[in-house]
């Protein structure tokens, strides 16, 4: 019976120690991330390099070489100006005649698929 009491005492002692460790961990103050001040983010040069849109894409965004970011901005201007964004499913673009040629004949394209299809028309 003395052996049983020894095991119980060991278990109780272990539980108390474990509880003490948990309490000590909980009391540690949370570390705050240091803020970067003054460092301005530099855009990636690959995005800013002027690219020449082909004849199909130039009907929508213009024929002059422009960066990819500007191509995307002009595409969205065209889409919003002509009301081509689907009313119910906002991430879908309903292509008109000009965009249908750019999108490879598809009438409905998701906004995520749009950039992939447009990249085929950039040199």
CA 86 – CA 117 distance, rounded (Å): 18
- Bridge partners of 93, per DSSP, are 85, 109
CA 70 – CA 60 distance, rounded (Å): 12
| H/E segment holding residue 105 | none
Does the global pTM surpass 0.75?
Answer: no
pLDDT of amino acid 11: 59
pLDDT digits (tens, 9 = 90+) for 35-80: 666 678 887 787 789 999 999 999 999 999 999 999 999 999 999 9
Q: What single-letter DSSP state applies at residue 110?
A: E
pLDDT of amino acid 15: 56
Q: Is residue 94 packed enough to be buried (19+ CB in 10 Å), middle (13-18) or exposed (0-12)? A: middle
Query: What ranges do the domains of the chain cover?
Result: 46-119
Tell me: pLDDT of 113 over 60: yes
Q: Is 73 left (phi over 0), alpha (psi -120 to 50) or beta?
A: alpha
Determine the CATH number of domain 46-119. Answer: 1.10.245.10
pLDDT of amino acid 120: 92
């Amino acid at each position: 019976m003395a052996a049983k009491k020894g095991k119980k005492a060991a278990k109780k002692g272990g539980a108390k120690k474990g509880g003490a460790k948990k309490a000590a961990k909980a009391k540690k103050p949370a570390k705050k991330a240091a803020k970067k001040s003054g460092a301005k983010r530099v855009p990636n040069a690959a995005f800013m390099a002027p690219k020449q849109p082909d004849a199909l894409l130039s009907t929508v965004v213009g024929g002059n070489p422009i960066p990819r970011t500007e191509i995307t901005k002009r595409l969205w201007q065209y889409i919003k100006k002509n009301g081509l964004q689907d009313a119910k499913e906002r991430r879908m673009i309903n292509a008109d005649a000009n965009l249908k040629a750019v999108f490879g004949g598809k009438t409905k394209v998701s906004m995520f698929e749009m950039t992939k299809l447009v990249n085929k028309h950039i040199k």
